[in-house]
Structure 1
Amino acid sequence: MMIYLAAVAALLLCSTVGCFQQRFSEHFVEFLLNNEERNEFALKSFKEYKHAGTFGGRVDRDDEEDSEKPISRHDPVIFVHGNQESALNFSATATGWNNQIEYFLSKGYSMAELHGLTHGQRNVTVALSNRFTCEVFRGVRRHIESVLHYTQSPKVDIISHSMGVTIARAAIIGGTLNFSDGVCHLGHSLASKVDTFLGIAGANYGVCYCAIQHLMGFEACSHDAFATGVCQVNGENDETMTAHAPLHCAAENVSCDNNYASILRQINERNEPCGDFTVSTWSKQDEILGGTNMAWGKKTSHIPNSDLTIEYGDLTHSEIKDLTSRHQHELVNMHAINVEVPRIRHATDTITAATTPLTAPRIVISLLSI
């Protein structure tokens, strides 16, 4: 235990809203160590990734005089990052959740209510070699359970991005999933413990670049990840069908019941909610998922049974996470967004405009100038 606690250095990141610790707090680590075996994944992330690898937990400067009061005043927010990303800013390609932390802190949250950990190598050059695993699904699930127990909050909010959308969905929905190398038993659904589930630029039906022939052999394009399958269009022969597959996959007027990734299909076919209020967002300028966001006739970022879908007009795959902190805060707190705001370039921007509440389920709001 002392080895872990000694690693909780006074490593603080400071900004215009103050400083926050770039590791799990000592208070949270002590809690995790009370059940070290069950919390092995979170503790491994804390120990292995060190700088910028984890965050969350009560810190003395915020709570020293309130140690007997509840840890959480808001629903805690758990952030789940994408492929080769990071919990906190680690590099130009692994920007983490720093913007969100700064913004949420400026709105009255404490670090006891904001949680995240790193999974993966934080190395974009190996992104195509990454796939979903039971270890990560189960580890993120147990982190969610740990935050619920630690804060004693009846519910949490989940904000996920890219590959993290599927990871968080699997962790919450639970049940049994079949991977190519074995069976993964996750347990009962945690959906009743989740208020808002926000999926940002997820790939719930695969990614069309996986229809490119020379990429099909990579782990990221396997049936344990983002395979889209290949469909025959307009009587094409096999050679032409394969050559044209990426274009047909992304087309808005082409659909087929393709054999997309088994792991995605299993999660989607469960047709179970991820929480009380589910939001799917994507962008027309996403260089990873494509401008149409299509995968053989389906919007790949659309989570089945979403209560609200939001389509941005001019954000990249990373920007849709990094530059929408205000909307993320509004969605978890109000189940609504402010649709008349300019693009938020800084986490602490303050903009006043009318708020548009959710008026109908499963609508698409196009925010073309945000």
Structure 2
Amino acid sequence: MSIKTCILGLLALLLFMPVMALHAACHDTVVMVHGNTGSPTDFQNTYNLLRQSGWSDAQIIAPAWGNAFCAACNDHNGSEETPVADAITSAIATSCSGHIDVIGHSMGVTLAMREIDKLGVASKVDVFIGIAGAVHGLWSCGMYPFNVANATCGYYGLSVHSPFLLGIAGHRFGVRMYSMKSWSDEINCATGTCLVDGVHTSTIPGENSSFDYPYGHYQLLLLTAADQVGLLK
């Protein structure tokens, strides 16, 4: 083989390497939706691990939503929806794969479900992870229409059998769906039971798997980052 041929081959390889690297770095954009009165920084552990695992900063979106100072004021309708809907729409439009993954915590689980459902983009969500969500409602909110009289427990809230929850029941929110739950969750099991209609309130109908942890409501998010990222791979 001539020196000229070797040089041309090396140049071709060098030119092709950036394309290979770009392809290797393509991940689904991840949308992370915090819970009631939470903030995007609640996902700091998950964010750090995603970055360490090859996701770029642009491939991670964590919208801020709701009133951060009034838990009883937030529901799944109106101003709370806009930041999450915009984040999901933007993530799909800019994702190098054309698909996204969604991780929600607490009320962020059901809010993400609401927006995926309204936007009709479940087929664009490769993985949906619900962490400590009240997918079947909260007994601490009562049963609709005899619910606690605030927005969070109302028509568009988390009372058991609320019209909102019944409206999304059994729908799909991704190609693969997973729940992470605890039987000692101080929020979802506050009344002494985690069960609604015979199932843990955090389970997602039609889910691929559900994972149990011995953690509290907020620990479920903070201490499961490795498992979250593992489900995205």
The answer on whether the counterparts of 1:173 and 1:274 sit within 8 Å (CA) in structure 2 is: yes
Residue 272 (structure 1) shift: 2.6
- The answer for the alignment partner of 1:37 in structure 2 is none
- The answer for the alignment partner of 1:47 in structure 2 is none
Supply the RMSD in Å over aligned alpha carbons: 2.4
The alignment's TM-score, normalised by the length of structure 2, stands at: 0.83
Matches within 5 A, 1:205-354: 205-211=136-142, 216-228=148-160, 260-268=161-169, 271-290=170-189, 292-312=193-213, 314-333=214-233
The answer on whether the counterparts of 2:67 and 2:74 sit within 8 Å (CA) in structure 1 is: no
Residue 193 (structure 1) shift: 0.7
The alignment's TM-score, normalised by the length of structure 1, stands at: 0.53
- The answer for the alignment partner of 1:149 in structure 2 is 93
- The answer for the alignment partner of 1:80 in structure 2 is 33
For 2:74 and 2:80, the matched residues in 1 are separated by 12
Query: Which structure 2 segments of 5+ residues have no match?
Result: 1-17
* Residue identity in the other structure for 2:174: G
For 2:231 and 2:102, the matched residues in 1 are separated by 11
Residue 129 (structure 1) shift: 2.6
- The answer for the alignment partner of 1:179 in structure 2 is none
Change (3 A) 1:135 1:128: closer
The answer on whether the counterparts of 1:84 and 1:122 sit within 8 Å (CA) in structure 2 is: yes
- The answer for the alignment partner of 1:355 in structure 2 is none
- The answer for the alignment partner of 2:7 in structure 1 is none
For 2:127 and 2:48, the matched residues in 1 are separated by 20
Between structures 1 and 2, the one with greater helix share: 2
For 1:210 and 1:201, the matched residues in 2 are separated by 16
* Residue identity in the other structure for 1:82: G
For 2:175 and 2:48, the matched residues in 1 are separated by 26
Change (3 A) 1:155 1:263: same
**CA deviation digits over 1:192-212, x for unaligned, max 9?**
111110001111111011139
Matches within 5 A, 1:109-258: 109-123=55-69, 126-174=70-118, 187=119, 189-211=120-142, 216-228=148-160
**CA deviation digits over 1:176-231, x for unaligned, max 9?**
xxxxxxxxxxx4x101111110001111111011139x971122221210112xxx
**CA deviation digits over 1:293-318, x for unaligned, max 9?**
21243321111111111111x21100
* Residue identity in the other structure for 1:205: H
Q: Which runs of at least 4 in structure 1 moved beyond 6 Å after TM superposition?
A: none
Residue 78 (structure 1) shift: 0.7
The answer on whether the counterparts of 1:71 and 1:151 sit within 8 Å (CA) in structure 2 is: no
Change (3 A) 1:74 1:166: same
- State the identity as a percent: 30
Residue 287 (structure 1) shift: 0.3
- The answer for the alignment partner of 2:15 in structure 1 is none
Residue 286 (structure 1) shift: 0.7
